[in-house]
Amino acid sequence: MDTRIFHLDEINQAAKAIQDGKLVAFPTETVYGLGADATNEAAVKNVYLAKGRPSDNPLIVHVASIEMVEKYASEIPDNARKLMKEFWPGSLTIILNIKKGVLSKTVTGGLSTVAFRFPDCQPTLELIKEAGVPIVGPSANTSGKPSPTTAQHVYHDLHGKIAGIIDNGPTRVGVESTVLDMSTDQPVILRPGAVTKHQIEEVIGSIDLNHHHVGKNETPKAPGMKYKHYAPNAQVYIVDEGTDWKQVVDWIKQQPFDVGMMAEEKILQQSTLPMNAIQFSLGKNIADASARLFDGLRQFDDQPNVKAIVTQAFPAKDLGRAYMNRLNKSAGGEHFATK
Ligand code: TXA
Ligand code: MG
């Protein structure tokens, strides 16, 4: 199958492909998603196949209006409505109880809940409206790899397996949406993202953060949590705050292979780097670093001599919480200091 690139003036053709049951990757403000008609069971099944995604890991349903949510949720609690009003369109995914019989088990992984997201990205809102159906969209990467933040990343992982990609350039936020479970009385953040715990609490009061670690044979509340994630080919090491980067550079010098070094611009500029250090700038602040993290991890996959990647940690608060969550997973919890 040829995978074509849809330009922004070709959204109607992309919508036609979605209506025909084909897979089309779409941009959002966070990462690119792998789109299919949420009401077409065969199309949704193909999303799992193309990604190599385990079938018990449910998909997010992307909508372009609250009416679309009303069609599929059994009820929208008042607090959920308040959050939609405050943060939609935007990077907050809200899990609600599902109306019986309206969406296939394939979408929900057999759960009685469904995750809704209203992305802050005009071309994709147009796509959903034009197609006239909600669109499922996991991140458009091969399962286990860092999420795609450019159309090229999607092409790299999925060309030949999907009908097309809508190219809207690099995404702005770079880490996936906050996933908030509102299907029970006490709302819980299942995945941190750009909309922070603090921002949510300002609207609806106290909520929980999920710290539960899921075992291999457990059916988890957020099924995505039990799988390997964001892992490039090389081993990633987290460089904690307060680490002396001279030590890191010394260590790199001693290695018989190339080492990726992902750090803020000022750290890269201060360091005298050995030949085998391959630098990648995380920019000037946590917003830059979040937008660039996956791109950096992916670039090193194209450099087979890079066998390790050292990556700068940021304080785990606000957007930094989302950044550190992704970095921790990509490193499998490995730190430079305890290596
Ligand atoms: O920013 C984003 O959310 C991107 C863009 C494309 O919208 N999408 C995305 O989808 O990150 P995905 O499938 O890669 O991650 C969705 C996460 C998974 O960990 C999944 O397990 C969880 O949300 N999830 C989806 N539906 C759920 C449900 N009903 N209950 C619990 N967790 C759910
Ligand atoms: Mg994903």
Strand partners, 209: 189
Pocket test for ligand 1, best of 176, 178, 218 (most atoms within 8 A of CB): 176
Q: Which atom of ligand 1 is nearest to the CA of 175?
A: 1
143 within a domain of the structure (yes/no)? yes
Cα of 285 vs centre of ligand 2, distance in Å, is: 24
User: In the prediction, which pLDDT does 222 show?
Assistant: 53
Structural domain of residue 150, as residue ranges? 4-209
24/114 same-domain check: yes
Query: Please, which residues bridge with residue 73 across strands?
Result: 98
Evaluate: CB of 325 within 6 angstroms of ligand 1: no
- Which CATH number characterizes residue 152's domain? 3.90.870.10
Question: Taking the model in full, what pTM does it have?
Answer: 0.95
Cα–Cα distance for residue pair 150/174, rounded to 1 Å: 10
Please work out whether the CB of residue 60 comes within 6 Å of at least one atom of ligand 1. yes
Strand (E) or helix (H) holding 290? helix 286-301
The answer as to whether 214 is a domain residue is no
Residue 254's CATH number: 3.40.50.11030
Give the pLDDT confidence score for residue 17 in this predicted structure.
98
Q: Which ligand is nearest to the CA of 171?
A: 1
- Both 87 and 192 in one domain: the answer is yes
Which value, to the nearest 10 degrees, does the dihedral of the CA atoms of residues 60, 55, 333, 285 take?
A: -20
If asked whether residues 125 and 181 sit together in one domain, one would say yes
Domain match, 277 and 175 both: no
User: Residue 331, exposed/middle/buried by CB under 10 A (0-12, 13-18, 19+)?
Assistant: buried
> How many folded domains does the chain comprise?
2
CB 221 within 8 A of CB 210: yes
The last residue of a domain, from among 209, 225, 250: 209
Report pLDDT digits (tens) over 246-283: 999 999 999 999 999 999 999 999 989 999 999 999 99
Nearest CA, atom 21, ligand 1:
224
CB atoms near residue 262 (< 10 Å): 26
Is the domain of 242 the same as that of 192? no
**169-189: per-residue pLDDT in tens?**
999 999 999 999 999 999 999
Residues 172 and 320 in one domain: no
Tokens of 123: 């071309």
Q: Is residue 222 situated within a structural domain?
A: no
pLDDT, averaged per 10 consecutive residues of the chain (339 residues), comes to 97 98 98 97 96 90 97 97 98 96 87 96 98 97 95 98 98 98 95 97 94 51 61 95 96 98 97 95 98 97 96 97 96 92
* Residue type at 170 in one-letter notation: P
